[in-house]
Structure 1
Amino acid sequence: MQEASFSGLLRTIMWVIAFYYIFKFLARIFLPVLVKKAVEKAGENFQRQQQYSQGNTWQNTTRKNNDEIIIDTTNAKNPRETKKVGEYVDYEEID
């Protein structure tokens, strides 16, 4: 069975502090680069979705005559009515 020593405890604390500062230093260097790449990728995905939705809308638009444009609105969202459940009842507490 081994016994814990004071010097072993100090050495462990020193290693923890060293790893903390190394991690902090590396995070300052690499974290902005990683965040920048993530933002760029999100922007690209957004642009791709915008192009897809614009292309999809354009495909659903058909021309019959030179003056008339018909747009297919099968994917349009209709507002839903909220269900009315009961009435509001005001009450007073009885002592």
Structure 2
Amino acid sequence: MQEASFSGLIKAIFYMIAFYYIFKFLARIFLPVLVKKAVQKAGQNFQRQQQYSQSDSWQQTRTKNDEIIIDTTNAKKPRETKKVGDYVDYEEID
């Protein structure tokens, strides 16, 4: 069985502080690179989706020359307000 010692406590605190500063240093170096790559990938995905939707809608309008279709699925629909319960007015009792 091992006993806790003051020198063991000091070592553990030193290792925790060292790990914190090493992690902080490495994060400053590598985190901007990782974020930049994630933003670029998201931009590429967005661009690909945009091109697909534009080419898809363009093909639909070209195939049907005498018929124009307006897609209203993205139109704003009025939201219903739901009544949850009755309003109860409370009075203070002295």
Q: How does the TM-score come out when normalised to structure 1?
A: 0.74
Label 1:10 to 1:53 Cα distance change in 2 as closer, same or farther (>3 A): same
Gaps of 5+ in 1: 65-69
What is the CA-CA distance between 1:2 and the residue it aligns to?
Answer: 1.3
Aligned pairs (5 A) from 1:1-95: 1-61=1-61, 62-64=64-66, 70-73=67-70, 75-77=71-73, 79-80=76-77, 82-83=79-80
Percent sequence identity over aligned pairs: 57
State the shift of 1:25 in Å.
0.2
RMSD: 2.6
Deviations 1:38-75 (A, max 9, x none): 000010011001101101110110324xxxxx3333x4
CA distance in 1, matches of 2:41, 2:22: 28
1:90 deviation in Å?
7.9
Q: How many residue pairs get matched?
A: 87
SS at match of 1:71: coil
More strand by share: 1
Q: Secondary structure at the match of 1:63?
A: coil
Runs of 4+ off more than 3 Å: 78-86, 89-95
Q: CA deviation at 1:34?
A: 0.2
Q: How far, CA to CA, are the matches of 1:85 and 1:22 in structure 2?
A: 54
TM-score by length of 2: 0.75
